């Protein structure tokens, strides 16, 4: 069933449960909170761990966001000398990697999913899955997506001559961890972001 579908679960005995995968744009904070709880539980409840599946799902959402800009990103990475730079005076459109308008109240799903990608790799480690539940290709796929996501954030910062997207990702990741009674500093590998040195200018837009 798709994320956000209301459903019930039948049990052989009376019990109270809490699900672990709230994979909906507005419920990612809950996914972080439950994953963080399960990662520190010595004997997690049955059917609680599908961390490699969770990581791959998040990675693929981030890949879909980056997909639209694949050609520009490839030129940026491999053929910098062939990139046609636009003058700084030209308007930049869009200023965010998604297709819908972004406002201060609604920054879109891209920020949430990028933040989630950085966090879930550490708070929902695939090593905690039962052996039969692990996706053996997940670690490589998620690792490649993490590397590409960081490259994309650097590329986007230079493309739009603004650190807004990168700063929003970092702020969202911090809020996700705080809502789960954790701290962003507890998560290894949260990337920094590119910004021009003092007195330096942004490069022209791609």
Structural domain for 35, as ranges: 28-186
80: its two tokens: 């910098």
What's the helix, strand, coil split of the chain in %, to 5?
50, 0, 50
Examine residue 80 and state whether it is found in any structural domain, yes or no: yes
| Residue 4 domain flag | no
Task: Decide if pLDDT at 20 tops 60.
Answer: no
pLDDT at 21: 62
Q: Give residue-wise pLDDT tens across range 114-152.
A: 998 988 888 776 666 666 666 777 788 888 999 999 999
pLDDT at residue 1, as a whole number: 55
Task: Looking at mean pLDDT, say which of 25-29, 55-59, 125-129, 192-196 comes out highest.
Answer: 55-59
Residue 19 lies in a domain: no
Whole-angstrom CA distances from 137 to 3, 55, 56 are 23, 11, 9
When divided into structural domains, the chain yields a total of 1
| Structural domain contains residue 196 | no
Which residues fall within 8 angstroms of residue 106, CB to CB, at 6 or more apart?
none
Tens digits of residue pLDDT in 68-108 = 899 888 888 887 766 676 666 666 666 788 866 666 666 67
């Amino acid at each position: 069933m798709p994320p956000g579908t209301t459903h019930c679960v039948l049990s052989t005995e009376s019990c109270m449960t809490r699900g672990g995968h709230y994979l909906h744009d507005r419920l990612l904070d809950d996914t972080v909170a439950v994953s963080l709880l399960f990662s520190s539980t010595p004997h997690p409840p049955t059917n609680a761990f599908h961390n490699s599946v969770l990581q791959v799902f998040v990675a693929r959402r981030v890949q879909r966001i980056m997909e639209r800009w694949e050609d520009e990103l490839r030129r940026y990475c491999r053929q910098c000398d062939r990139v046609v730079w636009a003058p700084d005076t030209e308007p930049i459109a869009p200023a965010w990697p998604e297709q819908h308008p972004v406002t201060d109240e609604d920054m879109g799903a891209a920020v949430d999913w990028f933040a989630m990608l950085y966090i879930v790799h550490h708070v929902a480690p695939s090593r905690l899955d039962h052996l039969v539940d692990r996706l053996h290709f997940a670690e490589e796929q998620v690792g490649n997506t993490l590397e590409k996501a960081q490259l994309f954030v650097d590329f986007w910062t230079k493309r739009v001559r603004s650190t807004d997207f990168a700063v929003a990702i970092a702020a969202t990741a911090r809020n996700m961890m705080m809502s789960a009674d954790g701290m962003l500093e507890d998560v290894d590998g949260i990337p920094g972001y590119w910004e021009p040195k003092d007195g330096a200018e942004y490069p022209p837009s791609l």
